[in-house]
């Protein structure tokens, strides 16, 4: 996540006019039963339909495997570039076909899209079975595809060497190991909750849907507001880091001149993103996610090749005030004061921790990824293989660069390359990849803000209307300007990344899943045999009790598991607080020492 790769572009993108952040009763993909009565859907109803959907998916997946046979590595790779064609062909063999006998690939997919997205207040002659068939037809991603997308979404190794420089070999390895294992556990939680609550009747589309179904609308609003803030700050960080890249390129191989004014460099990147941000739909851009991974691989290789030429001493001195001249040193344990660029002692270790947390961020998109899977029960395979690959990459790359550059490691490591030609090639690759990511994050972020504030609270028109499209075009520049002001006001990349990592990435990857786990399993385990199962005819469930007694029963069904999740939640909160403290303290010291200056022509590296 440190390099903010646009992982979910490979899902075929999404139209910002169709929001997964609306309430269950106002979304356009819910059933007529739900919207006509405007009733509150119970937790038990969600689980009832989810169990039916999982059973249907198991049967459909068995047919799919029988039709296609075993998938070897070659077929997995080919399938990644097929845009779902083979999956749809196999799906067409299912006995429940779509209306009007449409069986060709294009017609089948377009009909599926129209049925699945048709307004819920009019059946248009479409039966419930046909709607379910259409919904399944749009879920084509295999677990191999999702492995690729998780890797694309999370993988961002350019901050790993800086983490090792703040903590040393031993603590650095321990940190990446613990946070890697816990990020997998958080992903496992989201997977179990998704499988337990997602259905054809009530599909989960976004992260906020988890919390709405367990805690209510207030939790969804809280999570979505936090998501919108994270996206805004992510765009701000991209403007800052890519402004630094443009500044490095503009100074030429001598590096003596200041080059283009640094604020102007950020405005250049902001302007490009502002123009591309006018695109409301991101359909058929899946190949960009493939390109993003290869760009990351090339960046890693360029950084590894460049270490033999030494660190970028000028960038280190400009950003952190550490003068060159000292011999390069590495440490097994925590480095002594004066040999870290992230502060001293405990603060330096916490800043390194923040960047490591940022590197594992990506759980925010897991709901969208699982929503695209043909067989969501296989998600754990994707997650496990992806986490292992990402962990090995972080450890190897971080130790390799730190071993050569020691205390002079720069974050991001691309801008710590000393040779101008290699540095420029890496910066150009980074610019292209990050521009795509910035457009994606601004698209998602503005969508959340528009639906949560402008549409629901202020009564602005829906984005599908002509007036809504005009508002979109007008608000995109405002969004990018705000992100620019945030990025330009605090021009210290590592500490800003650390603050976002502690306050938001850590919350979405660790704190929120732990909170979700407690609520989900307590509610699920509170259900007993004495209670009649959910009745789909009357939409009722026969509760034997309510309140504290019911919560206690649910908790005591798995007391150690639930206690661990509470401990996990509290530990994540404490880590969030410590991370915020270290980042804010480091930013304060940077401004006091005049290392960082707001809205300045002088580049911070």
Quick: pLDDT tens for 218-262: 898 888 888 888 878 888 888 888 888 888 888 765 555 667 888
Most confident of 24-38, 87-101, 335-349, 567-581: 567-581
pLDDT of residue 23: 43
Q: Is 189 a member of any domain?
A: yes
CATH number for the domain including 346? 1.20.1730.10
Residue ranges of the alpha helices (H) in 328-419?
A: 345-359, 366-371, 379-405
> Which candidate, 395, 374, 221, 402, places its Cα nearest to that of 311?
402
122, part of any domain: no
For the CA atoms of the chain, what is the radius of gyration?
25
Total residue count of the chain as it appears in this document: 605
Domain of residue 422: give its range.
141-511+574-592
pLDDT higher than threshold 90 for residue 14: no
| Cα separation, 165 vs 176, whole angstroms | 13
pLDDT at 113: 43
CA distance linking residue 192 with residue 559, whole number of Å: 18
- pLDDT of 104 reads 42
User: Is the separation of the CB atoms in 209 and 22 below 8 Å?
Assistant: no
- Better pLDDT: 126 or 342: 342
**pLDDT of 282 higher than 50:** no
Q: Please report the pLDDT score of residue 604 as a whole number.
A: 66
**What's residue 261's pLDDT?**
83
The DSSP bridge partners found for residue 417 are 311
Q: Cα–Cα distances in Å, from 7 out to 46, 364, 365?
A: 29, 11, 9
Q: What is the mean pLDDT of residues 357-381?
A: 84
pLDDT at 35 over 50: no
Instruction: Answer yes or no: is pLDDT of 439 > 50.
Output: yes
Question: What is the structure's pLDDT at 567?
Answer: 95
Per-residue model confidence (pLDDT) at position 6? 43
Does the pLDDT at position 210 exceed 70? yes
pLDDT digits (tens, 9 = 90+) for 123-178: 445 555 555 565 565 567 778 878 877 887 787 888 889 889 888 899 999 999 99
431 pLDDT tier (thresholds 50, 70, 90): confident
Confirm whether 85 is domain-assigned: no
As a whole number of angstroms, the distance between CA 442 and CA 88 comes to 31
pLDDT at 120 over 50: no
Q: Residue 519 has what pLDDT? A: 94
Number of domains in the chain: 1
- Please compute the mean of the pLDDT values over residues 495-500 and round it to a whole number: 75
pTM: 0.78
Using pLDDT thresholds of 50, 70 and 90, give the confidence band for residue 273: confident
Output DSSP code: residue 141: B
The per-residue pLDDT for 242 is: 83
Residue 562: inside a domain, yes or no?
no
Q: Is the pLDDT of residue 597 over 90?
A: no
With 80 as the cut, is the pLDDT of residue 345 above it? no
Q: Is residue 242 part of a domain?
A: yes
168 domain-assigned = yes
Structure confidence at residue 311 (pLDDT) = 86
Predicted local distance difference test score (pLDDT) of residue 194: 95
Residue-level pLDDT at 394: 92
Tens-digit pLDDT profile for residues 57-83: 888 878 877 776 545 555 555 554 444
Say yes or no to pLDDT of 29 above 60: no
Summary mean pLDDT of the chain:
76
The closest of 305, 306, 324 to 316, measured between CA atoms, is 324
Provide φ and ψ at 370, rounded to 5°: -65, -30
Predicted local confidence at residue 75, as pLDDT: 54
| Secondary structure element (H or E) that encloses residue 545, with its range | none
Cα(413)–Cα(558) distance, integer angstroms: 45
pLDDT confidence band for 530 (50 / 70 / 90): confident
With beta carbons less than 8 A apart as the criterion, state whether 605 and 413 touch.
Answer: no
Q: Average pLDDT for residues 389-395, to the nearest whole number?
A: 92
Distance (Å, rounded) from C-alpha 33 to C-alpha 42?
14
Mapped onto helix, strand or coil, the DSSP state of residue 540 is strand
- CB of 259 closer than 8 Å to CB of 437: no
CA dist 522 and 216 (Å) reads 15
Query: CA separation (Å) from 479 to 19, 107, 246, 530?
Result: 18, 38, 22, 53
Statement: residue 305 has pLDDT above 80: yes
- Calpha distance 209→206 (Å, rounded): 6
528, two tokens: 């007993």
What proportion of the chain, given as a percentage, has pLDDT over 70? Answer: 74
Give CA–CA dist 265/242, Å, rounded: 8
Distance CA 597, CA 584 (A): 15
The tokens for 99 are 């209306």
Is 77 part of a structural domain of the chain? no
Please report whether residue 536 resides in a domain: no
């Amino acid at each position: 996540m440190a390099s903010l790769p646009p992982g979910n572009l490979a899902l075929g993108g999404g139209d910002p006019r169709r929001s997964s952040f609306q309430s269950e009763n106002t979304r356009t993909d819910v059933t007529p039963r739900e919207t006509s009565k405007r009733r509150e859907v119970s937790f038990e109803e969600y689980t009832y339909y989810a169990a039916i959907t999982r059973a249907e998916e198991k049967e459909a997946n068995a047919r799919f495997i029988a039709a296609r046979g075993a998938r070897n590595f070659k077929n997995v790779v080919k399938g990644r570039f097929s845009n779902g064609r083979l999956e749809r062909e196999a799906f067409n063999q299912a006995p429940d076909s779509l209306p009007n006998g449409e069986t060709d690939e294009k017609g089948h997919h377009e009909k599926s899209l129209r049925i699945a997205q048709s307004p819920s207040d009019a059946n248009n002659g479409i039966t419930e079975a046909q709607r379910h068939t259409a919904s399944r037809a749009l879920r084509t991603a295999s677990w191999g595809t999702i492995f690729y997308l998780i890797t694309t979404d999370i993988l961002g190794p350019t901050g790993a060497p800086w983490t090792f420089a703040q903590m040393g070999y031993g603590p650095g390895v321990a940190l990446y190991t613990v946070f890697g294992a816990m990020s997998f556990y958080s992903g496992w939680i989201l997977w179990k909750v998704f499988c337990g609550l997602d259905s054809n009747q009530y599909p989960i589309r976004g992260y906020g849907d988890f919390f709405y179904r367990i805690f209510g609308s207030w939790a969804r609003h809280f999570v979505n507001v936090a998501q919108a803030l994270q996206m805004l700050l992510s765009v701000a960080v991209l403007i800052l880091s890519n402004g630094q890249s443009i500044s490095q390129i503009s100074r030429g191989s001598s590096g003596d001149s200041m080059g283009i004014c640094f604020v102007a460099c950020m405005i250049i990147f902001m302007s490009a993103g502002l123009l591309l941000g006018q695109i409301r739909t991101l359909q058929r851009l899946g190949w960009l996610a493939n390109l993003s991974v290869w760009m990351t691989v090339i960046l890693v290789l360029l950084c590894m090749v460049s270490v033999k030429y030494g660190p970028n001493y000028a960038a280190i001195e400009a950003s952190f005030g550490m003068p060159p001249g000292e011999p390069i040193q590495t440490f097994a344990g925590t480095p002594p004061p004066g040999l870290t660029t992230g502060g001293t002692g405990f603060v330096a270790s916490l800043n390194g921790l923040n960047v490591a947390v940022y590197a594992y961020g990506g759980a925010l998109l897991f709901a969208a990824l699982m929503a695209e899977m043909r067989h969501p029960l296989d998600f754990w395979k994707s997650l496990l293989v992806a986490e292992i690959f990402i962990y090995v990459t972080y450890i190897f790359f971080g130790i390799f660069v730190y071993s050569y550059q020691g205390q002079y490691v720069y974050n991001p490591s691309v801008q710590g390359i000393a040779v101008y030609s290699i540095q420029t090639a890496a910066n150009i690759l980074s610019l292209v990849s990050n521009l795509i990511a910035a457009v994606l994050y601004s698209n998602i972020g503005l969508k959340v803000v528009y639906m949560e504030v402008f549409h629901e609270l202020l009564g602005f028109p829906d984005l599908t209307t002509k007036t809504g499209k005009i508002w979109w075009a007008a608000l995109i520049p405002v969004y990018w300007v705000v992100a620019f002001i945030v990025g330009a006001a605090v021009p210290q990349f590592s500490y800003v990344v650390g603050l976002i990592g502690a306050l938001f990435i850590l919350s979405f990857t660790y704190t929120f899943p732990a909170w979700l786990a407690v609520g989900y399993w307590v509610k699920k385990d509170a259900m007993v045999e004495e209670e009649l199962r959910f009745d789909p005819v009357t939409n009722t469930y026969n509760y034997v009790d309510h309140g504290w007694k019911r919560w206690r029963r649910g908790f005591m069904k798995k007391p150690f598991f639930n206690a661990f999740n509470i401990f996990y939640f509290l530990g994540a909160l404490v880590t969030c607080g410590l991370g915020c403290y270290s980042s804010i303290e480091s930013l304060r010291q940077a401004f006091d020492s005049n290392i960082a200056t707001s809205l300045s022509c002088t580049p911070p590296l």
